[in-house]
Amino acid sequence: MKKILLSWVGLALLANVPIALAGTWSCDFSVDTCDFTMFVDDPDPSTSLVNNGQLIMHTNGQVYAEEPPSPPTNYATAAEAYMHQLFTPGYGESWWAEITGMIPAIIEPNYPVGPMGIDHLHLQVGLAAGFVKPDGSIYLMDNGLIFSGDDRSGLEVKNRKYDADSKFHPVSGDSVEYADAHTLTMDESGLLGLRFDAATKVLTAYNGHTNDFLSVDIDASGPGNWNMTDSDDFFIALLLEVRGLPVPETSPLALDNFHASSGVSVPEPTTWVMMLYGLGLVSVLRLRGHNHIWRV
């Protein structure tokens, strides 16, 4: 979804206002989005707001509008995304960030009726970290809890999974994925985390089940090198996405309990943190072949 990429670039480059501040940050979404600023807000029926102590997204029980010229196999993707305006850790410091993502199982049977079947249906909630280069291209690692459906093989296939990947988005053209990890799950709710070790330059995605779900050396030689310097900062973002499924207001996608810290040694997630966040984020954002930021 090009609009998300352009929005990220615009916010990150125009806003060079955020200053990389060492410290600890948290948001329980009890009142508002704290220091997160919305930078992608799709029109109705896509709706995102803080409600009941969570950051939620729903489509008012409707399937999001189709993209022109509206063929039955071309459902549009509704996305709501937020960027943290103060937590912008520098490349020279270690940091970590975590959030809990939720996709209620009750949404799964809500498949639309039509010739499309369940092809390319997906739901995703996720956490991302990235770097915008001066030319506007983007390096990104995202970590999501996903529900997706597919019947392109003639068989109905649906699954839940944790999915993380590292990729490069040029200013124009398709993105290039350098690393990917995914595992099936039955979780409706789960911890999603990212951490960066400034000493080794390794960026890691983890969840409530796996401490090293996907690790990438972003300073290694080759095309996967992010080409960052100590004067560069990461951006941290949240994203909720729906494609082809009606999400009711009573059973929304949700994110909650954001915690992050920078300028400190990277901790191993403790048992109590895992228990607190992981009781139980489709690809962005990830529908491969649809030019989304996060993809399946």
Question: How confident is the model over 1-54, as pLDDT tens digits?
Answer: 444 554 554 444 444 444 445 689 999 999 999 999 998 888 888 899 999 999
Residues 47/176, Cβ–Cβ less than 8 Å: no
Q: Number of folded domains in the chain? A: 1
Query: Does residue 226 form part of some domain?
Result: yes
Question: How confident is the model over 47-67, as pLDDT tens digits?
Answer: 999 999 999 999 988 877 655
232 or 281, higher pLDDT = 232
Query: Does residue 120 form part of some domain?
Result: yes
- What are the structure tokens assigned to 161, written together? 């999974």
CA 277 to chain centre: 17
Query: Does residue 113 form part of some domain?
Result: yes
Instruction: Give the DSSP H or E segment for 272.
Output: helix 271-277
- Beta-carbon neighbour count of residue 153 at 10 Å? 8
| Predicted structure pTM score | 0.81
What lies within 8 Å, CB to CB, of 70 at 6+ separation is none
Q: What strands, in cross-sheet order, belong to the sheet with 138-150?
A: 36-41, 77-84, 235-243, 121-132, 138-150, 157-169, 176-184
Answer yes or no: is pLDDT of 264 > 80.
no
Answer yes or no: is pLDDT of 89 > 60.
yes
CA 5 to chain centre: 13
Query: Does residue 21 form part of some domain?
Result: no
CATH of the domain at 45: 2.60.120.560
Question: How confident is the model over 121-180, as pLDDT tens digits?
Answer: 789 999 999 999 998 899 999 999 999 876 555 555 678 899 999 999 998 878 898 999
Percentage of the chain modeled with pLDDT above 90: 52
How far is Cα 290 from Cα 2, in angstroms, rounded to an integer? 10
Query: Does residue 286 form part of some domain?
Result: no
Query: Does residue 69 form part of some domain?
Result: no
Query: Does residue 170 form part of some domain?
Result: yes
- Beta-carbon neighbour count of residue 80 at 10 Å? 23
Query: Does residue 283 form part of some domain?
Result: no
| Per-residue confidence (pLDDT) for residue 53, from 0 to 100 | 95
CA 16 to chain centre: 22
Query: 191: domain range?
Result: 2-15+26-63+75-277
How far is Cα 88 from Cα 105, in angstroms, rounded to an integer? 34
Q: What is the dihedral of CA 21, 22, 27, 31, to 10 degrees?
A: -40
